[in-house]
Homo-oligomer: A and B are copies of this chain.
């Protein structure tokens, strides 16, 4: 046994602690999409670098659970003799544990890295097997992880009022009022995006999402304790009402909530927070993060910023598309780099909002594809090239997908592209009364595909932050009505139906939209909401079969393209502008 292999080190540590096994999720304390190097325990232990996964280490066996996106990658990255790969949808970890554990086993977990719901599933699995689930004080991996990177220490900067639109003091006053109205004494914020939005702070602790990894506790008087190394804050980032305390004070601070009614978002908060509050004698109020809804409803300054950011982003994308058009031999990685370079020339650019997906031909059919040197390829004539990309600008976050014909597209590709476009237009044109959720609208994006016996296996739209995460709740457009919230003016969402033919091609047409009040038709009895499309970039007309569009759909497409031409044209060079004239000409 080689004591230098992480798995062996962990097993030895578990044995020292009297544990039969241990669960290693990919998440950190904040349950975010990205984790800092210091929290990449799963990657250190297994080598797996995907965005979702979980390992279980037992004395005699170990498993790594990944979903369908990562079944190939896991075999490249992980020693599958040591870690048995398991499909986490077909065999959820709790079910696997229920079968593999035996009576008397003691399964450990780090209560900072699991939500209460996740712990419930583990506990049920242990109960079925007659095993015991045990909270670990101190993560066993941290105890044996030599050369563990230090935690993030970059500066935390203010998000200027000119982009935020509302001061932290105003947001805090509203939050305090909301807490009082719900008879809640305090809220524990564990989502770094909530903290960033509330206090108008931004950071660089993780890629793509401009936040600092921090907790905060806000009380009904608007008092805030922010848990962040005080020296990380640039001077003047906060006004005096916020008490800044080192992260190590967080748990002791929770003890001070004894007897108070404390709101915790049980879908996001670590079990350790619930445990500590319960031990302190706080009355836990499981509910939703009270900053989520006000954060989702962008204010007029944020919406103006989003429009400006989308014009610059559209100009960069138009330059790229014009550059790419007819140019041979550009592979996926080169295309992504070139697109990023065009974007980086724009004002207020702060990086990509997620890693670009550039999938040519069959790679386009892999929904969460990322080019690697091994998969990288040049699209061939007759193929489709799917590009899903976005950027962080100080005034807004973008996310846009265009599917491009390389050479002459086939009739099947045009047929299916046009069905996807019909769904995209149906969402863009939707009007609906207040109280309508995104899950109610989802079918509009799928109806044309369904009529042809086709569909796509992802949501139609996710919420998008304002210089925050490109994936933001609670708003969404999806089949599932679970926890669906009503769409409200100012919410920003993606509108991205697709179609994927495995081994052949992928199609997705994605614009961001903002929920707006729609003009009332004559005789209207109920106020209507609708969508304002924010994204400005040509939709490849060579892939549109006009005979499949009805007159209203053709009118929408032509009007959208006219708008792209008018708004983007003045921002680009002459060559791009000439290309744009053709790319945005009326169809049919």
The segment out of A79-87, A163-171, A448-456, A575-583 that lies at the interface is A448-456
Answer yes or no: A525 CB below 8 A from chain B CBs.
Answer: yes
Query: Chain A, 431-459, contact with B by CB distance < 8 Å: what is the 0/1 string?
Result: 11101110111111001001111110000
Question: In the bound complex, do residue B431 and residue A451 qualify as a contact, i.e. CB atoms below 8 Å apart?
Answer: yes
CB distance from A220 to the nearest CB of B (A): 18
What separation, in Å, do the CA atoms of A431 and B451 have in the docked complex?
6
A528 to B453 CA separation, bound complex (whole angstroms)? 6
Question: Is A523 in contact with chain B by the CB < 8 A criterion?
Answer: yes
Shortest CB distance A516–B (Å): 15
CB contacts (< 8 Å) of A521 on chain B: these are 451-453
The answer to whether A148 has its CB under 8 Å from any CB of chain B is: no
Stretch at the interface among A16-24, A196-204, A477-485, A561-569: A477-485
A382 interfacial contact with B, CB 8 Å = no
Contact check, B484 vs A454: say whether CB atoms are below 8 A apart: no
Taking a contact as CB atoms under 8 Å apart, the answer to whether B439 and A441 are in contact is: no
Known: A453-B524, A455-B526, A528-B453. A444 touches B447 (CB 8 A): yes
Residue A381 at the B interface, CB < 8 A?
no
Chain B nearest Cβ from A524, distance in angstroms: 2
Partner of A523, one of B442, B452, B480: B452
Distance, CA A244 to CA B233, complexed state (A): 75
> In the complex, what's the smallest C-beta–C-beta distance from A261 to chain B, in angstroms?
12
Contact (Cβ within 8 A) B432 A526? no
Q: B481–A439 contact, CB under 8 A? A: yes
Interchain CB contact (< 8 A) of A444 among B435, B443, B484, B524: B443
Which residues of chain B are within 8 angstroms of A435 by Cβ–Cβ distance?
479
- Minimum CB distance partner of A481 in chain B: B481
B443 touches A481 (CB 8 A): no
List B contacts of A525 (CB < 8 A).
453-455
Residues from 448 to 497 in A contacting B, C-beta threshold 8 Å = 450-455, 479-482, 484
The residues in A between 407 and 446 inclusive whose CB is less than 8 angstroms from any CB of B are: 412, 431-433, 435-437, 439-444
- Whether A450 contacts B437 in the complex (CB less than 8 A), given A443-B444, A481-B481, A481-B484, comes out as no
Q: Which residue of B lies closest to A415 (CB)?
A: B523
Q: Which residues of B contact A455 (CB under 8 A)?
A: 433, 525-526
Contacting A480 at CB < 8 Å: which of B412, B454, B481? Answer: B481
A434 to B521, CA, bound (A): 36
- A520 proximal to B (CB < 8 A): yes
A432 and B453 CA atoms in complex are apart in Å by 8
Give bound CA distance, A186 to B526, whole Å.
49
- When chains A and B are docked, how far (Å) is the Cα of A66 from the Cα of B164? 46
By beta carbon, the residue of chain B nearest A482 is B481
Complex: A479 Cα to B484 Cα, angstroms? 11
Contacts of A528 in B (CB 8 A): 450, 453
Q: Which A522-560 residues have C-beta < 8 A from chain B?
A: 523-528
Interchain CA distance A451-B526 in the complex, whole Å: 10
Assess whether A453 is in contact with B520, with CB atoms less than 8 Å apart.
yes
A453 touches B484 (CB 8 A): no
Q: How far is the CB of A550 from chain B (nearest CB, A)?
A: 8
Which residue of B is nearest A444, CB measured? Answer: B443
A524 to B527 CA separation, bound complex (whole angstroms): 39
Set of chain B residues within 8 Å of A481, measured between Cβ atoms: 437, 439-440, 480-482, 484
Q: Is the CB of A526 within 8 A of B444?
A: no
Residues on B with beta carbons closer than 8 Å to the beta carbon of A433: 450, 455
Please report the C-alpha to C-alpha distance between residue A435 and residue B454 in the assembled complex, in whole angstroms.
14
CA distance A28 to B8 in the complex (A): 63
A-B contact pairs, 19 of them (CB 8 A): A412-B523, A431-B450, A431-B451, A433-B455, A436-B479, A439-B439, A439-B440, A440-B442, A440-B479, A440-B481, A441-B443, A443-B443, A451-B521, A453-B520, A453-B524, A453-B525, A454-B525, A454-B526, A455-B526
6 cross-chain pairs, A with B, having the tightest CB-CB distances, nearest first: A481-B481, A453-B524, A440-B443, A453-B521, A439-B481, A453-B520
